Amino acid sequence: MKPLRRVPLLALLALTSCGIPATGVVEAGGPASGTLPMTPVYFVEDGALVAMPRTTERPGDPEAALRLLMAGPLAGEGRQDGLVTEVPGVPTAMALPPATDGPGDPPAPDAPTVTVKGDAMTIRLPAGMDRLSGTGVRQIVCTAAAAYRLTRPSDVTVTAEVTGDGWQVRASDEGCSER
């Protein structure tokens, strides 16, 4: 064999055996993502309900969305900071605990609870909350239903029974702007 014919063969061997072993798929961490999960939370601007997107660790969870609602609007939201709420915060001096409860865990003591059966919700507000205005009830129902629909899309109207200490109101998500 002539020396010039050996050069391509040696170059080919050098390229194919560079010392990096072949491996399969290496799993490391969660999937790549550029956006965080969002849920609509309903506030009031100029007398009308407005859905504001909020990041959440638990998309599709009505209780987590209601915790965000009870925390109130953020500074700078809405036109000229015009967002308000008719849903009071937690009736204690403590802030709501983060939504880290797992499925089946008991709810935090000062957090709303939501039970869903078919297209009907029962929303139980924390102890000590006074009766809500009609707009406050709409904020609660629209926020809970919108969160629920994130993972269970449907055209069926969701009806809700909102209860507090000694009061109860029935409403639906009909007319919520994100519906």
pLDDT (tens digit, 9 = 90+) per residue, 24-82?
A: 655 665 555 667 899 999 999 988 999 999 999 999 999 999 999 999 998 877 666 68
Inside any domain, residue 178: no
pTM: 0.71
| β-pair partners for 120 | 117, 159
In terms of C-beta distances under 8 Å and separation of at least 24 residues, what long-range contacts does 95-103 make, across chains too?
95/71, 96/67, 96/70, 96/71, 98/57, 99/56, 99/57, 99/58, 99/61, 99/63, 99/64, 99/67, 100/57
Inside any domain, residue 12: no
Inside any domain, residue 128: yes
Amino acid 93: pLDDT: 41
Structure confidence by residue, pLDDT tens digits, 127-172: 888 889 999 999 999 999 999 999 888 888 999 999 998 899 999 9
Structure confidence by residue, pLDDT tens digits, 74-104: 887 766 668 889 998 765 444 444 444 454 5
* Exposed / middle / buried, residue 126 (Cβ in 10 Å: 0-12, 13-18, 19+): buried
Inside any domain, residue 127: yes
C-alpha to C-alpha distances, 14 to 11, 23, 41, 104, 148, nearest whole angstrom: 5, 20, 61, 59, 59
Contact 50, 63 (CB under 8 A): no
Closest CA to 86 of 144, 128, 40, 131: 131
Inside any domain, residue 133: yes
Distance CA 173, CA 179 (A): 8
**Secondary structure (DSSP) of 155-169:** SSPPEEEEEETTEEE
Which has the higher per-residue pLDDT, 5 or 124?
124
Query: How far does the chain reach from its first CA to its final CA, in angstroms?
Result: 78
Inside any domain, residue 160: yes
Amino acid 169: pLDDT: 95
Inside any domain, residue 59: yes
Q: Which residues contact 129 (CB under 8 A, 6 or more apart)?
A: 88, 91, 164, 165
Amino acid 159: pLDDT: 94
Q: What's the total number of domains in the chain?
A: 1
Inside any domain, residue 101: no
Q: Show the DSSP H helices in the chain as ranges.
A: 3-16, 62-70, 134-151
Q: What is the DSSP letter of 95?
A: P
Structural domain harbouring 132: 38-88+109-172
- Cα 65–38–137 angle (5° rounding)? 30
